[in-house]
Structure 1
Amino acid sequence: MTTLYITGAGVSAESGIPTFRGEDGFWTIGSRNYTPQQMATRAMYQDNPAEFLKWYYHRFVTYRHHGPNTVHQWLADKNLITQNIDGLDGKAGNKDFISIHGRIDKMTIFHEQGEMVSIEAAPWEQIDENNLTASLLELFKISTKGPQLNASYKPYVLLFDEFYTELYGIEKAQKRMWDATKIVFMGTSFSVNITQMALDVARHKAIPVDVVDPSPAHILHDNVQYFPMTAREYIAHVE
């Protein structure tokens, strides 16, 4: 049996990283002038890069030193696609996980969507928090003219108005879905396209699906088991 695990923000909550749609979630906390759905967009990055980068830094990058928890460690040798950008699966030792939405510790050259570009380490330690705006713009090579294609840098993160491309490993992810004989969803609200994509494959192949979450989202699938528990509790249950 080839089990594919697809994880969401609930898996990293135990590591002290807020979820997205919970009370303290990233998508409930915006900036003074914009909602999170407006902030986390390519349009905001292009039109107001200073505001975008400050929001991104405070909402994501400040958690870069948090460590993996027992769930990440259990998943370290598993077939895994994660929606999380925190990189904790890599810290836990998984050498072949797919971070389908990107990584906070990486950046890319600002490119046309669909274009393959290099992925580089983001040197966050160079940021001067006492001069945050200027420091962020300098790090990402953004001038007063705004981000420039093939010159400026962009965080390696899939934004709301962008689409899955091979830069984020979509072809490899789809192959894993089609090769799977079972899919386990952990800590996800099923609010993003990758979970719907995996569900469509599971329905087409009529393979079993486990949904693990303290308040699991109910899905349309004939062969689904709901586990209203944390991922840690699920691990204890199946072992």
Structure 2
Amino acid sequence: MEKLREILKENFQKDKRNKITFLTGAGLSAASGIPTYRSTDGIWVKGTKFHRPEEFGTFRYFSKNQEEVWQFNLFRKGMFEKAQPNNSHKLLVDIEQLIPEDFSIITQNIDGLHHRAGNSGTKIFEIHGNMRLVRCSLECSKAVYLYPKDITLDRIYEEIPEETWEKLECPKCGGLLRPNILWFDEYYNERLYKVDTTMKIAKNTGILIVIGTSGATTLPLRLIEQTLQYGGYILDVNLEDNNITRLTKDKKRALSYRMTSDEFLSEFHKALEACNVSL
């Protein structure tokens, strides 16, 4: 970890102090009991009962199969609510406390565990949405609403009660609500997914630590490219090589760490403490 300490000292030179940003994916929440998306036991590898994920996880499919999609999402919401932040989430809270002005989390995760662990809400940017909010599927307005209470399902194909359907009606137009998440056939935007904000963060990031994501979606890869373009470091923390590995191959300011998120974040926290003491 000597190279890590050198990078931190370089980042915190008084004349060029830059942000430290964590780009997190589903692998970070695996220890909380939430399946990842593309690992061997992942949600999108197994798919749903009848469909490939790239078909099922779309607004197009939702518009024709609303009950099936809501069954899946209400079951998954129940899974998220039962899960607890793991040690990696807690270490990120500790790291934020050391560098509150220079810290950001950009997350692909919709489980809300960064918030529940205790990271500041103003420092978390959820680029794929979250399961705390819903919005009108008919887009009668730009409003988002808190998820109705007590509407999770214990089983993925459990029948949705009538009273739950009533809670899923848009309060403005009476249309069906939808999860406030990004589906495969939709696009990143600033209003819902903070694309412009996170690209600006990446531009001003001296060290971008990528943890628990294979880099299979476009915005994370753009964020990595942005950080590299403006002279920042990329630290790829994953158990296996992935799309990020290929993107950063032969880049002098990119390093790979093939270890668990707990192991890396623990070492990073220690290195950061030592760096702050010595500056």
Compute the displacement of 1:194 (Å): 1.8
2:67 match: secondary structure: helix
Of 57-66 and 184-193, more deviation after overlay is shown by 57-66
1:100-139 correspondence to structure 2 within 5 Å: 100-112=127-139, 117-127=142-152, 131-132=159-160, 134=162, 136-139=164-167
Compute the displacement of 1:133 (Å): 6.0
The answer as to whether partners of 2:209 and 2:236 remain within 8 angstroms in 1 is yes
Change (3 A) 1:67 1:6: same
Q: Does 1:140 align with 2:164?
A: no
In structure 1, the partner of 2:256 is: 226
The answer as to whether partners of 1:54 and 1:133 remain within 8 angstroms in 2 is no
In structure 2, the partner of 1:145 is: none
Gaps of 5+ in 2: 1-17, 97-102, 271-279
Compute the displacement of 1:201 (Å): 0.4
In structure 1, the partner of 2:188 is: 164
Q: Alpha-carbon deviations, 1:183-225, whole Å to 9, x = none? A: 1100110101121111220232132110001113213331111
Rounded to whole Å, the distance in 1 between the matches of 2:70 and 2:47 is: 13
1:6 match: secondary structure: strand
The answer as to whether partners of 1:111 and 1:117 remain within 8 angstroms in 2 is no
Q: Alpha-carbon deviations, 1:38-79, whole Å to 9, x = none? A: 111000111111111112223454332211112112223241
1:125 match: secondary structure: coil
Rounded to whole Å, the distance in 1 between the matches of 2:54 and 2:76 is: 13
Q: Alpha-carbon deviations, 1:116-171, whole Å to 9, x = none? A: 722221124145766426455333228xxxxx988331101100000111212222
Q: Does 1:183 align with 2:205?
A: no
2:23 match: secondary structure: strand
Question: Highest CA radius of gyration, 1 or 2?
Answer: 2
Rounded to whole Å, the distance in 1 between the matches of 2:255 and 2:142 is: 40
1:48-87 correspondence to structure 2 within 5 Å: 48-76=65-93, 77=96, 78-87=103-112
2:240 match: secondary structure: coil
Change (3 A) 1:135 1:211: farther
Aligned residue identity for 2:187 = F
Rounded to whole Å, the distance in 1 between the matches of 2:265 and 2:163 is: 43
Rounded to whole Å, the distance in 2 between the matches of 1:28 and 1:64 is: 23
> TM-score under structure 2 normalisation?
0.76
Change (3 A) 1:224 1:128: closer
% identical aligned pairs: 26
Gaps of 5+ in 1: 143-147
Superposition RMSD in Å: 2.4
Of 1-10 and 216-225, more deviation after overlay is shown by 216-225
Of 115-124 and 20-29, more deviation after overlay is shown by 115-124
1:181 match: secondary structure: strand
2:241 match: secondary structure: coil
Q: Normalized per residue, which structure has more helix?
A: 2
Rounded to whole Å, the distance in 2 between the matches of 1:127 and 1:17 is: 16
In structure 2, the partner of 1:94 is: 119
In structure 1, the partner of 2:276 is: none
Rounded to whole Å, the distance in 1 between the matches of 2:231 and 2:197 is: 21
Rounded to whole Å, the distance in 2 between the matches of 1:213 and 1:101 is: 20
The answer as to whether partners of 1:110 and 1:149 remain within 8 angstroms in 2 is no
The answer as to whether partners of 2:91 and 2:266 remain within 8 angstroms in 1 is no
